[in-house]
Structure 1
Amino acid sequence: MGDIAHPSALELDDLLDELRARAGNARLAQVRMSALLDAVVAVSSDLELAAVLRRIVESACALVDATYGALGVLGPAGEELVEFVTHGITDEQRAAIGPEPHGRGLLGVIIASPTPLRVERIGEHPDSYGFPPNHPPMTSFMGAPIRIRGQVFGNVYLTDKVGADSFTRDDEAILIALASAAGVAIENARLYERSVADQEWGAATRDLVSGLLEGRPTDEVLGEVAHRTRSLTRATGAVVASHDGGSLVVSAAQGTVPHRVGDAVDDALWRAALVGPSGVAEDDSTHVVRLGTNRDPRGILALTGVTGPADIHRLAEFGQRIGVGLAAALSQQERARIELLEDRDRIARDMHDHVIQRLFAAGMSLQSVARQLTDETLRERVDVTVDEIDAVIKDIRHTIFALNRVQDSRHLTAEISAVCDAAAVTLGFAPTLTVQGSTSDIESALAADLLAVVREGLSNAARHAGADRVEVEIVVDENVRVTVADNGRGLDAQVPRSGLDNLARRATTRGGRFTAEAGQGGGTRVRWVVPLLPRS
């Protein structure tokens, strides 16, 4: 047998030290792997994107013992940073440093070439850009891209490894692994946020279109459109403008905007969204979408100072649905108006064919009876009753006219003038008409009352005054004042006052007053005053 070589004591010590080192490295690798798994779970435990980004930076710093960390989110073009999430720097330090970085220097190296990068001394690297004033000093650097489905979402940047001059290859491997897990977590958070946004926009569309179809005032719903879109996009201002076939008129305004409700606006960006094939237009500070379709534009929605998620395609879809809702509501209102007019026409026919004819027959019978009476007192009472029947017939005819009057069919001033022209037949001359103020601010129900007052005043003058001059004056300011004055015989106590009593009731119902008195130069002056109700 040959001799067996026995290792020396020194060699045994070296072997034991190597075994201990390998065991320590294995334990350290196990600890770091466990920490990496914990970090992956941590970054995946939240669905809010901002929280996920913050957890990624915190976990990266903890895994490789970095003093400072940041995650830069790339813009749509992938050439500069649009968001910068930091760890290790206080809010006061960030405020003192100033604007967030856009991706110059070492940050830009990873943007231009999305691969991991380790640098022992930042200042000695040829692409170093330096630090802005008040920035804490930093020496070692490591960065890696975060990819989502092959597209770079952003980059993780770490500086100043604790207890060492630089980051190691193992640190880089751990950061790459974390970045891969971070890409999945970020995609899940973005999908969740998109799902929540879809639900919120869907709820807003449903509520607003339902409001239109339920008959809520259009201006009220458009105000809600501005409010909801401003809230969803976190915009500083929102404007809804309606298209009336010519100009764009502001229907609702929310937040900080240069326009007020009622303003006619000629804006090139608004016009581009209204008539453009895509129905959208935008610049650095404003997003504009069309309400409605290209064939049936109803207006525009403009958002300024958007700070939240503003998907222009989602906005365009929202605007199209609101525009379709506006068109459907208008069609619904038109159908209801036609049904109302048909119902009014039926009522008017029934009143004319049945009620008036029966009253007229009753009046004729009373006149026939009156001729046979020998008692003068009874004859006068019958004549008074006949006059009352005539007044009732006249009131019914006025009511029939009001029923058949189509709202906004022509300007109110023209209708007043038409009433005066028609009265010339019974007066024997044309009355004088004076109108001061804008009658376009008078809503339809008050307009019908105003026409009834003018018609009754002129009819009263034709029947009882015996005048050769009648003046009609209408003044519109905070009140609506109607005056009908003649130079005739003046008021006769024996003449029935049913028509004048009706005018008094119309005034009282509206919180106004009515007077019928002798004029200063003779004749009669009828005066009707009620508060102005603005057009809704």
Structure 2
Amino acid sequence: MADESVQGQSPQDPTSSSPSSLWSLSALQLDDLLDELRARAGSARESQERMASLLDAVVAVSSNLDLADVLHRIVVSACELVDATYGALGVLGPGGEELIEFVTHGLTEDQRVAIGTLPRGHGLLGLIISSPQPQRVTDIGEHPRSFGFPPNHPPMTSFLGAPVRIRDEVFGNLYLTDKRQATEFSKDDEAILVALAAAAGVAIENARLYDRTRGQQLWGEVAGRATQGLLAGEPHGVVLSEVVARVAELTEASSCFLALTRGTDLVVVASTASQPAPGTSVSDLGLRAAMLAEARTVQADATSATGTRSTIPLMLREAPLGLIVVDWAEEERLSHLEELTGFAQRLTLSLVAATAQTERSRAELFEDRDRIARDMHDHVIQRLFATGMSLQSAARMSGETVRPRVERAVDELDAAIKDIRHAIFALQRPPGARDLAAEITAVCRDASITLGFPPDLRLSGRTDALPEQLEADVLAVLREGLSNVARHAGATVVDVSVEVDGGVVVTVVDDGHGIGPLPSRSSGLDNLARRAEHRGGTLSLEAREPSGTRLVWSVPLDEDVPS
């Protein structure tokens, strides 16, 4: 039975289920399952590591508020996350059609210099500009939009790009090439890059807000310092020189100058460069019409100014008070135009306020000087004149010994009265007045009353360009010379000339009795001589033939006074 039972079993029966065969089948299935679990665990660990790297990158790009550092950190993080050899972030211009800045990673400085001009956004780079969506390319050279590479550019194959958005605005694009451990970038790489680009947009916006706030603070400091200096009465040239230096610094410009209106012209008052020098007329530069036209365009549309120069008007209502002109060495994106326009408005208000304050101060000063002049005329001169009259009366009644002394005292009083009148004239002249020719004519007209006839007058040269104190000396010489002729000469003809040509020469010539014996002390002539000596000049008094006297008062001019 036993043999039958054994013979009834078939060792080839596939349905047989011996313990050894069951164990072998289960072991194979378990190995596969374990391999799959290990693979999934490895994938999970890789995903976790990449997620951790992404979070680290987000923190890194968000930890700095300096825009240049943020842009560089974004490119470096992108390369590290997707294992790219080269990376770049192209910043779009205001029109959103071309790149104006290109931040790179993976290229050495020598390679950048050898490549030359950075890309503007053509070819494959322009694909993301025209269609702001992520792009993956296995071989750049095989893509139909590829333009090839410029000379000295390293070869590149695989490509991955994605736009960087700030809300609805595309700020720029991230470009990555040559994945290190694979022939092309994966979908996971694309997802990682898109996530980083989103975080980068937030970081860039924060950095831009910080830059804008910091810039407003710096521009406010410049405007505040200018306002303080102008209102404090500091020389405009000093204050505005500081202004143009700070404007050039804040805008990273190669040069900057400021011109203000002087009558119908624009004159440079401050410049960061040797040309144009302060005092240069903008008309002499051949730029007045072009600059004013550009300034009005900039004022009307801040985005219309292009190239390497910006001209910002200092406008009071519709009238330009001046211009700020900023030049860059290379084509500028005009990112500072908004700040410049706001600063120009504040500077205009400061200039207007300073001018109004100066005019108000001058008016108050002139009122005080006029009051002092009236008091001196109404009180001091009248008392001196009364004293002189009393002395003259006393001289008639005095003896021969006392009379000469009294007469000399009267002469001294006359000289003092003349000096006071000269001081009154100087006080009553508005500050900055330069109508010397009219004053000379008025002195000659007044002298005609005592002479009995008008003197002949001749003017030569730039009498309107003399310093105020020298004008006062010229008028004092004329008054004294004409007064002496009227009192002592008995003349019938008097010639007066004032010449300005490398110096000032005042001449008074008469046909009277001649010099005659002069007193041992003539206070009037002594005063004129002292005035001439003080200015390095001379006073001469000589007889004429056949009769008469010639008085010549001559002083040199400073080199900065035009002749």
Distance in 2 (CA, whole Å) between partners of 1:18 and 1:491 is: 136
Secondary structure class of the residue paired with 2:272: strand
Distance in 1 (CA, whole Å) between partners of 2:273 and 2:50 is: 51
Q: Say if 2:137 and 2:158, in contact at 8 Å, map to a contact too.
A: yes
Distance in 1 (CA, whole Å) between partners of 2:561 and 2:220 is: 33
What is the deviation of 1:432?
4.6
Choose which of 524, 527, 542 in structure 2 pairs with 1:499: 524
- Structure 2 letter corresponding to 1:379: R
Q: Which runs of 5+ in 1 are unaligned?
A: none
What does residue 420 of structure 1 align with? 444
What does residue 215 of structure 2 align with? 197
Map 1:166-185 to 2 at 5 A.
166-185=184-203
What does residue 291 of structure 2 align with? 270
Secondary structure class of the residue paired with 1:47: coil
Distance in 2 (CA, whole Å) between partners of 1:213 and 1:309 is: 31
Kindly indicate whether residue 338 of structure 2 is the aligned counterpart of residue 313 of structure 1. yes
What is the deviation of 1:189?
0.9
Judge which range, 344-353 or 127-136, deviates more. Answer: 344-353
What does residue 322 of structure 1 align with? 347
Choose which of 482, 485, 505 in structure 2 pairs with 1:458: 482
Secondary structure class of the residue paired with 1:490: coil
Q: Say if 1:72 and 1:82, in contact at 8 Å, map to a contact too.
A: yes
Kindly indicate whether residue 64 of structure 2 is the aligned counterpart of residue 46 of structure 1. yes
What does residue 83 of structure 1 align with? 101
- Structure 2 letter corresponding to 1:188: N
Kindly indicate whether residue 161 of structure 2 is the aligned counterpart of residue 132 of structure 1. no
Q: Say if 2:506 and 2:553, in contact at 8 Å, map to a contact too.
A: yes
- Structure 1 letter corresponding to 2:281: D
Alignment deviations for residues 193-244 of structure 1 (CA, whole Å, 9 cap, x no partner): 1111100110111111121111123333333332222222122222222224
What does residue 164 of structure 1 align with? 182
Q: Say if 1:269 and 1:288, in contact at 8 Å, map to a contact too.
A: no
Change (3 A) 1:79 1:283: closer
Kindly indicate whether residue 313 of structure 2 is the aligned counterpart of residue 290 of structure 1. yes
Choose which of 322, 338, 341 in structure 2 pairs with 1:299: 322
Map 1:369-388 to 2 at 5 A.
369-373=394-398, 375-388=399-412
Q: Say if 1:233 and 1:309, in contact at 8 Å, map to a contact too.
A: no
Amino-acid identity (%) = 54
Distance in 1 (CA, whole Å) between partners of 2:475 and 2:34 is: 114
- CA RMSD between the two structures: 2.8
Choose which of 139, 155, 167 in structure 2 pairs with 1:149: 167
Judge which range, 393-402 or 133-142, deviates more. Answer: 393-402
What does residue 555 of structure 2 align with? 529
What does residue 353 of structure 1 align with? 378
Alignment deviations for residues 80-121 of structure 1 (CA, whole Å, 9 cap, x no partner): 000001111111111111111000111001111111111110
Distance in 1 (CA, whole Å) between partners of 2:260 and 2:477 is: 36
What does residue 337 of structure 1 align with? 362
Distance in 1 (CA, whole Å) between partners of 2:559 and 2:387 is: 40
Distance in 2 (CA, whole Å) between partners of 1:130 and 1:410 is: 72
Secondary structure class of the residue paired with 1:282: coil
Distance in 1 (CA, whole Å) between partners of 2:161 and 2:85 is: 14
Q: Say if 1:234 and 1:308, in contact at 8 Å, map to a contact too.
A: no
Alignment deviations for residues 460-513 of structure 1 (CA, whole Å, 9 cap, x no partner): 343344453434232243x4444445565237430642223333444455x433
Map 1:465-480 to 2 at 5 A.
465-467=489-491, 468-477=493-502, 479-480=503-504
Distance in 2 (CA, whole Å) between partners of 1:505 and 1:318 is: 52
TM-score, length-scaled by structure 2:
0.87
What is the deviation of 1:157?
0.4
TM-score, length-scaled by structure 1:
0.91
What does residue 540 of structure 2 align with? 516
What is the deviation of 1:285?
2.4
Q: Say if 1:475 and 1:482, in contact at 8 Å, map to a contact too.
A: no
Q: Say if 1:269 and 1:282, in contact at 8 Å, map to a contact too.
A: no
Q: Say if 2:532 and 2:553, in contact at 8 Å, map to a contact too.
A: no
Distance in 2 (CA, whole Å) between partners of 1:129 and 1:460 is: 96
What is the deviation of 1:276?
6.9
- Structure 1 letter corresponding to 2:322: G
Distance in 1 (CA, whole Å) between partners of 2:118 and 2:205 is: 24
Alignment deviations for residues 259-285 of structure 1 (CA, whole Å, 9 cap, x no partner): 752314253343236667946773422
Judge which range, 49-58 or 449-458, deviates more. Answer: 449-458
- Structure 1 letter corresponding to 2:350: G
Judge which range, 133-142 or 15-24, deviates more. Answer: 15-24
Map 1:356-367 to 2 at 5 A.
356-367=381-392
Map 1:392-431 to 2 at 5 A.
392-409=416-433, 411-431=435-455
Alignment deviations for residues 118-153 of structure 1 (CA, whole Å, 9 cap, x no partner): 111000011111100110000000011111112110
Distance in 1 (CA, whole Å) between partners of 2:135 and 2:274 is: 45
Judge which range, 519-528 or 310-319, deviates more. Answer: 519-528
- Structure 2 letter corresponding to 1:525: L
What is the deviation of 1:51?
0.9
Distance in 1 (CA, whole Å) between partners of 2:306 and 2:456 is: 58
- Structure 2 letter corresponding to 1:109: L
Secondary structure class of the residue paired with 2:539: strand
Change (3 A) 1:217 1:457: farther
- Structure 2 letter corresponding to 1:32: R
Larger Rg over CA atoms:
2
Query: How many residue pairs get matched?
Result: 532
What does residue 4 of structure 2 align with? none
Q: Say if 1:443 and 1:533, in contact at 8 Å, map to a contact too.
A: no
Judge which range, 225-234 or 380-389, deviates more. Answer: 225-234
